């Protein structure tokens, strides 16, 4: 059904429960790479610990003939990246997706799980309009209230050697610096995705990863009213509050964003 930097995905049928499932397999050659294997197992364990309609459900994981695998619910639809290809989304759809994303993040954060690689490629929209957060491969299981050590925060990505963990353009300033990254780092990434849904343009973008990360540290994205005059000022304030460079100045919980802000901002 597909392939990515961390393995291949197959569509299958669970004969016991008579349901379609997806099986993500890490090739045997990759399984011999201790770091990749650890990250794959971490993704499975983190996702399996979560039970929320806006997070990909993990049914099982194990190993077959030297290849680790993970069984998840089978989704039909498209990624948010694909949905964004034509440009900005309608305001009503944007607020609907943002609320669902924030609720999924709140559920993960309540269990001490930080995603740390939120981006449109890791957000899936099902055919019936349900948003699902995918790929907790970079997630860190932390004690509630604890942060990720700076040593862990600077582990290199499997997809772009030499780059700090995360994806350029959606990383928080603290991730770019290799500093501690807690749940508020996800809120920065959430803000960058929300900005892109509202404007059709990336909040932070340069010709290279280095330029993009420099923009995250030093620049503010163009005001949303410049790119989409239909954005309510209250919604632009929410985006700005998520994109504060200093995590202390951001929203302090995804639950605050989901339940107290976005819905009212669209009124």
Residue 61 host element (H or E): strand 58-64
User: Residues 110, 117, 128, 186: which is the catalytic one?
Assistant: 117
- Sign of CA pseudo-dihedral 236, 256, 56, 65: positive
80/124 Cα distance (integer angstroms)? 6
21/185 Cα distance (integer angstroms)? 31
Per-position b or e across 94-105, b if 16+ CB within 10 A of its CB: bbbbbbbbbbbb
As given in the structure block, the two tokens for residue 19 are 């349901």
- Sign of CA pseudo-dihedral 264, 196, 107, 241: negative
Neighbours of 230 (CB within 10 A): 11
92/96 Cα distance (integer angstroms)? 6
Which residue's entry shows tokens 């997630």? 139
Q: Which residues contact 63 (CB under 8 A, 6 or more apart)?
A: 31, 69
Verify whether residue 117 is a known catalytic residue: yes
Q: Which are the catalytic amino acids?
A: 117
């Amino acid at each position: 059904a597909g392939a990515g930097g961390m393995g291949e995905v197959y569509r299958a049928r669970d004969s016991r429960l008579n349901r379609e499932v997806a099986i993500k397999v890490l090739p045997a050659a990759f399984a011999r790479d201790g770091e990749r294997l650890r990250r794959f197992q971490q993704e499975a364990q983190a996702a399996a610990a979560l039970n929320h309609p806006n997070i990909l459900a993990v049914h099982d994981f194990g190993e077959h003939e030297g290849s680790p695998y993970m069984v998840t619910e089978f989704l039909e639809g498209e990624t948010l990246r694909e949905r964004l290809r034509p440009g900005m989304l309608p305001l009503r759809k944007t607020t609907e997706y943002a609320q669902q994303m924030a609720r999924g993040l709140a559920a993960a954060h309540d269990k001490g799980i930080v995603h740390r690689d939120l981006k449109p490629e890791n957000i899936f929209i099902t055919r019936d309009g349900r948003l699902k957060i995918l790929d907790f491969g970079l997630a860190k299981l932390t004690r509630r209230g604890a942060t990720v050590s700076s040593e862990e925060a600077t582990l290199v990505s499997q997809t772009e050697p030499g780059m700090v963990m995360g994806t350029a353009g959606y990383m928080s300033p603290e991730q770019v610096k290799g500093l501690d990254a807690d749940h508020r780092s996800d809120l920065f990434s959430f803000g960058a995705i929300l900005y892109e849904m509202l404007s059709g343009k990336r909040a932070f973008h340069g010709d290279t990863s280095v330029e993009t990360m420099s923009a995250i540290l030093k620049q503010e994205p163009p005001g949303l009213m410049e790119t989409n005059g239909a954005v309510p000022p209250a919604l632009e304030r929410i985006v700005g509050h998520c994109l504060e460079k200093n995590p202390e100045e951001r929203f302090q919980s995804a639950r605050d964003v989901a339940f107290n802000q976005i819905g009212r901002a669209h009124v």
